[in-house]
Amino acid sequence: MKGRRKINGPFVPLPLAILDAPAWRAMDFIARALWLALRRKLRNDGLNNGKIWLSCRDAAEEIGGNKDTITRRYAELEHYGFLRKTTEGFLGADGCGIAPHYRFTDLAHGTHPATRDYEKWDGSIFENPPRKSGWKKQNPVLRRRTPRIARSDIRKIPNRGFVCIAAPDIGEARRCIAPSDISRLPLPRAGEEQGKGSLLQGSSTVRAPVQPGDAGSSPAPVAIRPYRHSQDGLMECVLSVVNGLLDELERGKVVA
């Protein structure tokens, strides 16, 4: 009885039935390398079929390529029937992403027999999906905020194209402030209560009543309303000063 040849080290078997399949020959070589990278994660007994996963980033580092290319090659392997997705990718509870899980169609999956979908390939060639452009349209600047160059200021020399703009051609921003740039609080209205802090300075009491025996006390502070460019405000200011003088005279009589 002949002895079996011993293979030193682990290896990835590639069945001849897959190599001879028309779908394998029609597939891109990067997709074939991705299939081999996934195959090395299969156990010898094949019990983990259906739980095979490899992120696009890790596959790109292992094979040598771009992660977006790996994403398209996954779709190509499913198109030709060599892989089938068992679970979609999702975000884990710890905040780390979980890659999708796949199964090989040439092997049994749990209690289900092998489907060998690559043998049912209809001959349609896989077409790469269009790439999304990373260019985004910028929002235009406001004319009243940022000065822009007029088209007439751009000079062009024959056989040389556009040239640099001279300093005198660059306009300055207007010096006047736009109404929308002014932020202020509303002015107090006439007739508001005297107890509000926005109308009074110092004490909230305008005049302190005179009581006998208060000769040694200082006069009560007089609160003056801010000047409001009106006759009512001027009259109130004059009356406050007159009342303060009268209070001082009354205190002088009591002392005498």
190 vs 16, which has greater pLDDT? 16
- Say if 4 falls within a structural domain: no
User: For residue 89, what is the domain's CATH number?
Assistant: 1.10.10.10
- Say if 32 falls within a structural domain: yes
- Say if 226 falls within a structural domain: no
Judged against a pLDDT cut of 90, whether residue 34 lies above it is answered with: yes
Closest to 201 in 3D by CA, of 234, 223, 222: 223
Which pLDDT belongs to residue 175? 60
When the pLDDT of each residue in the chain is averaged and rounded to a whole number, the result is: 75
Question: What are the distances in angstroms from CA 148 to CA 24, 143, 170, 173, 245?
Answer: 58, 7, 8, 9, 64
| Residues facing 102 on adjacent strands | 52, 85
- Say if 218 falls within a structural domain: no
Q: Which domain holds residue 116?
A: 16-120
Which pLDDT belongs to residue 250? 77
Which pLDDT belongs to residue 162? 62
154 vs 253, which has greater pLDDT? 154
- Say if 25 falls within a structural domain: yes
Q: How many domains does the chain have?
A: 1
- Say if 82 falls within a structural domain: yes
The pTM is what?
Answer: 0.50
CA distance 22 to 15: 14
